[in-house]
Homo-oligomer: A and B are copies of this chain.
Amino acid sequence: MSVIEAKGVNLTFQTRDGPVHALKDVNLSIEKGDFVSFIGPSGCGKTTFLRTMAALETPSSGVLSVNGMTPDQARQRRAYGYVFQAPGLYPWRTISRNIALPLEIMGFSKADRQQRVARVLDLVELSAFGGKFPWQLSGGMQQRASIARALAFDADILLMDEPFGALDEIVRDRLNEALLELWQKTGKTIAFVTHSIPEAVYLSTKIVVMSPRPGRITRVIDSSLPRERPLDIRDSEDFIRLSHEVRDALREGHGDD
């Protein structure tokens, strides 16, 4: 069964100087357990599409269903973990309590909360910083805390908007591995926005290439890589071929400006 099914989705923003066609005729279906990356130039509608999936925007036309429900129903059933492009931590809560916040909202027990917070803090390598306030951390650390927060409550669908943009490659590699491991173990469905071609290729079962003005999907590339992916798969021939394919698709999209 398709977890996410988009049929002819359009989305237009009305601005003072005319409408902006942020999504045009988007068709996509994501299966349970897929890891889908979205890649494309800035302004091509990646964020907008992710937000539409999470019921934070409403399509102007077309149908979008999540687990057979409307996105809004899915949101109310807490189907999503969402990592935003900016960390968005609450300045009045420590890192630990920021991570615990969605858990509080979803009614997890106190003991459960503590144990989950500890686990995800460890996962993003911030165990020593649980007691600090967000403004005491560097930008990259804040972003990691925000990832931890989205992971803490084990939603079935993870929507991640450039989660690793502000991180250095080493940490990024580690988090990539950790994320893959998590995905394999839990069978979550993940939609992931990135600007890095190697990252997209390394992580995904499906790579969606988008193009701007109007925002639309120009290619959907199914990965031929196995689900088990050691880091050095990045030196394999398949990997390099896929990377080239993605780069070409991207360049095509850029062609028209």
A residues contacting B by CB (< 8 A) are 15, 17, 39-43, 47, 85, 125, 131-132, 136-141, 144, 162, 165-172, 195-197, 247, 250-251, 254, 257
Contact = CB atoms under 8 A, between A and B. Distances in A.
A139 B169 contact: no
A138 B86 CA distance: 13
A17 B165 CA distance: 29
Contact of A170 (B15, B138, B250): B250
A47 B195 contact: no
Number of copies: 2
A162 to B, nearest CB: 7
Contacts of A166: 42, 162, 165, 195
Given A85-B139, A139-B85, A257-B125, A39 B250 contact: no
11 contacts: A17-B132, A41-B170, A42-B167, A42-B168, A43-B140, A85-B139, A165-B166, A169-B195, A169-B247, A169-B250, A170-B251
Contact of A171 (B42, B47, B137): B42
A93 to B, nearest CB: 16
Given A17-B131, A172-B195, 13 more contacts: A40-B168, A41-B168, A42-B168, A42-B171, A43-B140, A43-B141, A162-B166, A165-B165, A167-B195, A169-B247, A169-B250, A170-B247, A170-B250
A196 B257 CA distance: 26
A241 to B, nearest CB: 15
A39 B168 contact: yes
A43 to B, nearest CB: 4
Contacts of A169: 195-197, 247, 250
